[in-house]
Chains A and B, each alone.
Chain A
Amino acid sequence: MNVQLKKTISIAAMAAGIIGMAAALYMDFSGSASTIRGPLLIAGALLVIAGVYLLPTRKHRSIINVLFLFPLIFAFAVTVLIPFACGIFYSMTDWNGIKFEKFVGLGNYISMFKSNDYIYSFVVTFIFTVINMLAVNLVAFGLALLCTSKVKGRNFYRAAYFIPNLIGGIVLGYVWQFIFNKVMTTVIEGSTSMLTDPNLAIAAILIVSTWQYAGYIMMIYVTGLQSVPKDILEASNVDGANQITTLLKIKVPMIANTFTVCIFLTLVNSFKQFDLNLAITNGAPSRILAGKPVQATEFLALNIYNTAISKNQYALGQTKAVVFFIILAIVSLTQVSISKKKEVEM
C-alpha cells in the first residue's frame, strides 16, 4: 500500500470516527433515547483508533506505545481508579447509591465507630484472621513436610490436598453447611448443629477456611523446601544432625522468605473472607451484646455488603469499606518493608 493512499484512508477513518462520536455525544446530551447512540459511540472510537494506527508518520513508535497501553489503562481507570476516588469522596457524604445531597465530613466515620454491630464485626474479624493465619500455616507446613519426605505417593497427596482450593467458596460453603447441619448431627447422635452456637459457628468457619486454604499454602512451602540445596542437607547429615535439628536449624531459617510470603498471604485472605462466611452462616446466629442483638459471625466484608446492599445504607457501607482498605494497605506496606529489610540483610 502506498503512503498517499494510506494517509487518505487514515484521515477519512479519523474524520468519520470523530463525526460518529460527536453525533452520539450530541444525542447523549440532548437526552435522546435512541438505541443507536451507544453502538455509534463505540464504532466512532474504534474508527478513530484505526485511523491513528494507519497514519504514516515518523512517530509511529509513540503511537503504538499509546495504543498498546490504552485498552488496559482505560478499563483500569473506569473500574478501579475512578470508583476508588469516588468511593473515598462518597464516604464523606450522605450518598444513597444514586445521588448525594450534602457533605457530612467525618460524620459517617463517627457513627460507624459508635455502632455495636461494626465494633463487634471488627473484633471478630481480627480474632478470626489471627487464628486462621496460625492454623493455615501450621497445617500447611505440616503437610508440606509430609509431601517432601520420602513417603510413597507424595505427588498424589499434593494434588489431593490442593483440590479444595480449586472450588469456589460459595459452593463449598453450602456443602459444609450441609455437613455441619446434617452429617455432624447424625455422626454425634443427638447433638445440635455447631452453626447454632455463636462461638462454635466461628470455629466452623475456621475449620472450613483452613481446610480450603491449607493445600495452597502447602504448595508454596513445598516449593520453598525443595529450594534448600541438597549438599547442605548432606553436610548436616554427615555431621550427625538428626532430622529435627536439620529442620529447625537449617530448613526453617533457609526458607524464612517463604514464611513471610505465606503469613501475609493468609493474613490478607482471611481478613477478606466473604464467600465462606456468606454461604455457611450468613452472619447467623445472633448474640446479645450490651443489651442489643448483633450477628455473631458477620465478618467485616459481609458487614460492608449487608450495610450497603441489604440495609440500603450506601454511604455508611462505603465508609466501612474505606476503613477496610486502609487496614489492608497497612498490612501490605508492613510486608513490603519487612521483605526489603530481609533483602538488605542478605
Chain B
Amino acid sequence: MKAQKIRTGIAEIIGVILTIIILAPFLLVVVNSAKSSADIITSPISLPEHWGQIFTNLSNVIHNQNFNYWNSFFSSLLITAVSLLLLTVFSSMAAWVLVRNKTKWSSFIFMLFVSAMVIPFQVVMLPLLSTFRETSNFFGIQMLQSYKGIIFAYLGFGGSMSVFILHGFVKGIPYELEEAAWIDGCSPEGTFFRIIFPLLKPVQVTVLILNGIWIWNDYLLPSLMLGLNGKIKTLPVAVSSFVGSYVKQWDLILSAALLAMIPIIILFLFAQKQIIQGMVDGAIK
C-alpha cells in the first residue's frame, strides 16, 4: 500500500510540473502583454510592474489599422458560422442520399469523396486561385476577396470528410423509420428534415467541432483567397499581417496573439467535453 501511495504521489508531482511546462507559453503571453516594449526586452520573464498596462496594450492593438480586431473577429465568426451551417446541412443531405440509394453511382460518388480526403490543399491551391479569378472575370461573380468565395471553398474542402463521418452514422439508422413516415404520407424531403436530420445530432456535433476548429484557425486558404492586405481578414491572417508590419514590437504582437487566443479558450472552457470528444471521434473514424 505504501509503495502505491508513493507512486501516485510521484505521478501527481509529474502531472503538476508538466502542466506548468505545457501552459508556460500562455502565461508568458499574458505576463508580457502587460509590459511596455522596453520592459519586455530587458526582463521577459519577470512579472509586470503595472498590470494596468495590459489595457493600454490591448486597446492600442484593437484600434490599430492593420489589425482591426473587431472587424477580423466578426469576419472569422461569419465565415466559420456560415460555412459550418452549410456544411452540416448539405453533407447530411448528401450522406443520407448516398446511404439510402444502393446504386453504382452512389458508391462511386462516395468513393470519390473518401479518396479526395488524401488530397492536400497545396496541390489544388494554385489552380483554385486561377479558377476563381477566371470565374470572377467571366461570370461577374466575385469569388476572391469575398465572403461567398471563401465559404464556397470551405464547403468544397470540408465536404468529403463530413460526408464520410455522417455516412457511417446514417447507415446505423433503421430504414423502418423512413418506411413508416413514407406510409403515413410524408414526402422524402419531409422524412429527411423531420425524422433523419434530428437523429443525426450527435454526429453533427463531431462534424461541427472538427470543421469549426480547422476553419477558425486556418491560415493558408484565407491568406491566398482574401489576401494579406485585403478588406476582409480572418484572425490568423490579421495577426500575420500585423506581425509583418511591426517587426519586433513584441508588446503589440503578444497582445494581438492574446486577443486571437481568447475566443477559442473561452469556448473550450464551456464545451470542453464535447470539443475533446468530437476531435477524438473524428480521428478514429
CB distance from B148 to the nearest CB of A (A): 9
Given the known interface contacts A157-B15, A175-B29, the answer about A84 and B219 at a Cβ–Cβ threshold of 8 Å is: no
Within 8 A of B (CB), among A120-177: 143, 146, 149-154, 156-172, 174-176
The reply on B218 being an interface residue by CB < 8 A is: yes
Within 8 A of A (CB), among B137-172: 138-142, 152-153, 155-157, 159-160, 163
The reply on A23 being an interface residue by CB < 8 A is: no
Within 8 A of A (CB), among B65-104: 86, 90-91, 93-94, 96-98, 101
The reply on A237 being an interface residue by CB < 8 A is: no
A325 to B152, CA, bound (A): 23
CB-based contact B265/A318 at 8 Å? no
CB-based contact A72/B90 at 8 Å? yes
Within 8 A of A (CB), among B165-194: 187-189, 192
The reply on A9 being an interface residue by CB < 8 A is: no
The reply on B260 being an interface residue by CB < 8 A is: yes
A305 to B120, CA, bound (A): 13
The reply on B6 being an interface residue by CB < 8 A is: no
CB-based contact A308/B126 at 8 Å? yes
CB-based contact A275/B118 at 8 Å? no
CB-based contact A183/B140 at 8 Å? no
Which residue of B29, B119, B141 is within 8 Å of A80 (Cβ)?
A: B119
Which label, helix, strand, loop or mixed, suits the secondary structure of the B interface?
A: helix
* Chain B interface, number of residues (Cβ within 8 angstroms): 89
Q: Which B residues are in CB contact (< 8 Å) with A152?
A: 8, 12
Pick the interface stretch among A102-110, A197-205, A214-222: A214-222
Q: Which A residues are in CB contact (< 8 Å) with B125?
A: 83, 321
Closest to A86 in B: B127
CB distance from B200 to the nearest CB of A (A): 14
The reply on B261 being an interface residue by CB < 8 A is: yes
A165 to B216, CA, bound (A): 13
Which residue of A41, A80, A329 is within 8 Å of B157 (Cβ)?
A: A80
Given the known interface contacts A35-B140, A174-B257, the answer about A65 and B97 at a Cβ–Cβ threshold of 8 Å is: yes
CB-based contact B127/A318 at 8 Å? yes
Q: Which B residues are in CB contact (< 8 Å) with A211?
A: 22, 25
